[in-house]
């Protein structure tokens, strides 16, 4: 919110004089007096939602730069076998744009975001194949200078300016190979779930899957039936539930809805709205489970452990896969197909750490060498929260430098202080319920900001004394509309 005092100031008019120039010749709250340029980086789920809201505001010039050839973000890029939504799909959509024919596979989720972007006319505001390489704050002009490279044409990077810069690049697309000695020396086929090679043939192959998060939980049951052998390397276990959803929506694994349900979803908006509300009501009621010593946490943890024990027959496998910590320390993931797959004869769960990768397989810290034809790295993304490109703020400080030692710090997850003044950090997860967060950010707390004004007269927005209603010829007795007749 820091804006240089000199930028945007009108020069004295020969007709009105210097003093008169400091007063607005317009009605109060006239947005046309200061049109803004906004740049949004990324056209994934958050970028799409942001663009839709921005288009409601008049006198904005909006540009969105997207590195991919289409919208969707991680749901355009993610195509490994089994990739899908792992929460109730009816809750995995915008509140303002429902998709009543249920979806879960990555391809269908990607199609949903494409349909939303088309419905709201976003494509005219998005430049694809455009990769932001840097963003630098110009203190004198109070604007961002954004460098953009095109992936489709040979040309020098272009510079764009913006009064407001919104980074909607997300954290689920900047993938990297795990830092394991010898990984580059492997002579077999090596693939990462974030950049899947659709030509890979796993039939009758010995496959090593490194990782125990959501992508591993989805990919293992998809490849188990075709591979000769699957070795799953689990460094840290997670709670894997044999159900999807909670309460009335809970099912063993995405069972199909009945034709009657589908008909009601598509033809009865009120019915579908209540259905979605019931799902999200249950999801929003679970925050108390996150309190470490609460009764709800203890009961939920026992419930999750018992669910996993019922699904996993082998005591040895139970010991390998059931965490010894509180529920919620890592993300809960539904995965009955995974729990079934790891109990098949051709699957082996390995808890020993990986020492190094050899030309023909993997050596564990216990000096055991396990052969592999294919290595699948289901190791997720770089989640440092620092963007791929360089962001330079006030005083020439880069975001990477600011976050290098202490990690990510941001005001309510939305803005960066220009100097160290934050007293506490919570990474990724808001320290409260989702409803608590929405109420917190619903109204800006301007008292938390140091504001420098564009114009020397901070009350210039009040204009010439006329209201918008008077200027537009609107009803000037609107305040009597609530009178009883």
The predicted structure's pLDDT at residue 362:
98
DSSP-derived secondary structure for 34-64: S-EEEEEE--SHHHHHHHHHHTTSSSEEEEE
Cα–Cα distance measured from residue 61 to residue 125, given in angstroms and rounded to the nearest whole number: 9
The predicted structure's pLDDT at residue 425:
67
Burial of 203 from C-beta contacts in 10 A (0-12 / 13-18 / 19+): exposed
359 CB-near residues (< 8 Å, 6+ apart): 185, 186, 187
**Helix-strand-coil percent breakdown of the chain, rounded to 5?**
30, 20, 50
The predicted structure's pLDDT at residue 282:
84
The predicted structure's pLDDT at residue 3:
36
> Domain 183-246+298-377 belongs to what topology?
FAD/NAD(P)-binding domain (3.50.50)
Among 339, 407, 395, which residue's Cα sits nearest to residue 137? 395
Return the CATH number of the domain spanning residue range 17-173+383-470: 3.50.50.60
Cα–Cα distance measured from residue 481 to residue 200, given in angstroms and rounded to the nearest whole number: 68
Question: Residue written as tokens 């203890």?
Answer: 298
CATH 3.50.50.60 positions along the chain are 17-173+383-470, 183-246+298-377
Please list the pLDDT of the chain residue by residue as tens digits (485 residues). Answer: 443 333 333 333 333 444 455 677 899 999 999 999 999 999 999 999 999 999 999 999 999 999 999 999 999 999 999 999 888 788 889 999 999 887 789 999 999 999 999 999 999 999 999 999 999 999 999 999 999 999 887 888 999 999 999 999 988 778 889 999 999 999 999 999 999 999 999 999 999 999 999 999 999 999 999 999 999 999 999 999 887 655 545 554 456 788 898 899 999 999 999 988 988 888 888 888 888 889 999 998 999 999 999 999 999 999 999 999 998 888 888 899 999 999 999 999 999 999 999 999 999 999 999 999 999 999 988 777 777 899 999 889 898 888 887 778 888 888 888 765 555 566 667 888 999 999 999 999 999 998 888 888 889 999 999 999 999 999 999 999 999 87
The predicted structure's pLDDT at residue 385:
74
Q: How many C-alpha atoms does 296 have within 13 Å on its Cβ side? A: 8
The predicted structure's pLDDT at residue 120:
98
């Amino acid at each position: 919110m820091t804006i240089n005092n000199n930028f945007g100031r009108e020069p004295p008019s020969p007709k009105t004089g210097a003093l008169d120039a400091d007063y607005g010749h317009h009605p109060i709250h006239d947005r046309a007096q200061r049109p803004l340029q906004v740049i949004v980086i990324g056209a994934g789920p958050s970028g799409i939602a942001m663009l839709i809201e921005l288009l409601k505001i008049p006198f904005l010039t909006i540009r969105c730069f997207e590195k991919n050839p289409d919208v969707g973000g991680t749901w355009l890029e993610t195509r490994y076998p089994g990739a899908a939504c792992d929460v109730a799909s009816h809750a995995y959509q915008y509140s303002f744009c429902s998709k009543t024919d249920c979806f879960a596979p990555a391809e269908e989720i990607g199609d949903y975001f494409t349909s939303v972007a088309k419905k709201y006319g976003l494509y005219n505001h998005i430049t694809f194949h455009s990769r932001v390489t840097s963003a630098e704050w110009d203190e004198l002009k109070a604007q961002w200078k954004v460098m953009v490279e095109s992936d489709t044409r040979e040309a020098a990077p272009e510079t764009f300016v913006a009064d407001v810069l919104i980074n909607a690049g997300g954290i689920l697309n900047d993938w990297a190979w795990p830092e394991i000695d010898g990984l580059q020396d492997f002579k077999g086929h090596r693939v990462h779930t974030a950049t899947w090679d659709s030509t890979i043939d796993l039939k009758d192959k010995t496959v090593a899957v490194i990782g125990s998060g959501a992508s591993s939980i989805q990919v293992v049951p998809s490849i188990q039936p075709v591979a000769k052998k699957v070795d799953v390397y689990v460094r840290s276990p997670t709670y894997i539930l044999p159900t999807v959803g909670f309460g009335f929506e809970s099912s063993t694994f995405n069972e199909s809805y009945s034709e009657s349900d589908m008909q009601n979803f598509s033809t009865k908006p009120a019915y579908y709205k209540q259905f979605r509300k019931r799902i999200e009501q249950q999801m929003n009621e679970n925050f108390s489970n996150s309190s470490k010593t609460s009764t709800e946490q203890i009961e939920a943890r026992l419930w999750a452990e018992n669910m996993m024990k019922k699904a996993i027959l082998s005591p040895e496998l139970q010991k390998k896969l059931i965490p010894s910590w509180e529920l919620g320390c890592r993300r809960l993931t539904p995965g009955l197909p995974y729990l079934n797959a790891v109990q098949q004869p051709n699957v082996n769960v390995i808890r020993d750490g990986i020492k190094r990768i050899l030309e023909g397989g993997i050596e564990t810290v216990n000096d055991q060498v396990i052969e592999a034809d294919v290595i699948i790295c289901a190791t997720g993304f770089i989640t440092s929260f620092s963007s791929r490109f360089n962001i330079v703020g006030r005083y020439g400080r880069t975001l990477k430098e600011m976050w290098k030692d202490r990690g990510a710090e941001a005001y309510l997850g939305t803005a960066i202080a220009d100097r160290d003044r934050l007293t506490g950090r919570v990474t990724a997860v808001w320290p409260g319920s989702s409803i608590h967060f929405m109420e917190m950010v619903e109204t800006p707390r301007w008292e938390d900001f140091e504001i420098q004004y564009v114009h020397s007269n901070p009350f210039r927005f009040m204009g010439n004394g006329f209201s918008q209603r008077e200027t537009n010829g609107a009803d000037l007795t609107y305040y009597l509309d609530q009178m009883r007749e």
